[in-house]
Chains A and B, each alone.
Chain A
Amino acid sequence: QLQLQESGPGLVKPSETLSLTCTVSGGSISSSSYYWGWIRQPPGKGLEWIGSIYYSGSTYYNPSLKSRVTISVDTSKNQFSLRLNSAADTAVYYCASFFFGPGRRYYFDSWGQGTLVTVSS
């Protein structure tokens, strides 16, 4: 079972860049069966997929956030990271592993505990 842990500042000023890192343990981020994703949840609201990355570095972003988001991977550290420019969105940010396998098995199977990032001056 994979374990994921988010880390990064809990407070970001408006218009600055939000940066988070997810450390993966219990497995390799270079696995061919996984994408690695970021999902956020404003307080009291629903889940929003931000984007995902494959160990090769291929990235996929939510069209509504694409102009502001960069996701990167560091296979040597078993980590992937999120940068969100022009921060304006207080939310809990989750990192998660997205498994894709035979039999329509395409789902997020392990999640970090989530980290609250507050955007405030």
Chain B
Amino acid sequence: DIQMTQSPSSLSASVGDRVTITCRASQSISRYLNWYQQKVGKAPKLLIYAASSLQSGVPSRFSGSGSGTDFTLTISSLQPEDFATYYCQQSDSIPSVTFGGGTKVEIK
């Protein structure tokens, strides 16, 4: 099974900050990596697919990079509506998938 490890598990940041979240796979997954945003009490929402492709309608301040085992999600200028929990998810072994443990972005 492919394991996904996110870091940090939580972070505190201010509006306007640049935020970076990392996700590491236990084996190479090429670029089969997605990022989701989940707000409290809501279902997750797709932000980035295939490591760096922005889902339609997602603001351009979100970006993704990486390949193989190491990936990052970057928010270039944190906005109030971006405070949420972010999850990575590998799609290398579809239809079996795995989620990372999540990163909670909180207000400093």
User: What residues make up the interface of A, taking CB atoms closer than 8 Å to B?
Assistant: 35, 37, 39, 46-49, 52, 54, 60, 62-63, 94, 96, 98, 100, 103-109, 111-114
Please pick, from A35, A49, A108, the residue contacting B46 in the complex, using a CB distance under 8 A.
A108
Write out the residue numbers on chain A whose beta carbons fall within 8 Å of the beta carbon of B42: 113
B81 CB-CB contact with A under 8 Å = no
- Classify the secondary structure of B's interface with A: loop
B80 CB-CB contact with A under 8 Å = no
Are the C-beta atoms of B89 and A108 separated by less than 8 Å?
A: yes
Q: Which of A52, A104, A107 has the most CB of B within 10 A?
A: A107
Write out the residue numbers on chain B whose beta carbons fall within 8 Å of the beta carbon of A98: 94-95, 97
Please pick, from A48, A54, A111, A114, the residue contacting B95 in the complex, using a CB distance under 8 A.
A54
A37 to B91, CA, bound (A): 13
A111 to chain B, nearest CB (A): 4
Are the C-beta atoms of B94 and A104 separated by less than 8 Å?
A: no
A-B contact count (CB 8 A): 74
Are the C-beta atoms of A104 and B43 separated by less than 8 Å?
A: no
B48 to chain A, nearest CB (A): 9
A106 to B53, CA, bound (A): 12
Q: Which of B34, B91, B95, B100 has the most CB of A within 10 A?
A: B95
Please pick, from B32, B44, B51, B96, the residue contacting A47 in the complex, using a CB distance under 8 A.
B44
A104 to B94, CA, bound (A): 11
Q: Which residue of A lies closest to B9 (CB)?
A: A46
Write out the residue numbers on chain A whose beta carbons fall within 8 Å of the beta carbon of B96: 49, 52, 60, 62
B62 to chain A, nearest CB (A): 15
Are the C-beta atoms of A107 and B46 separated by less than 8 Å?
A: yes
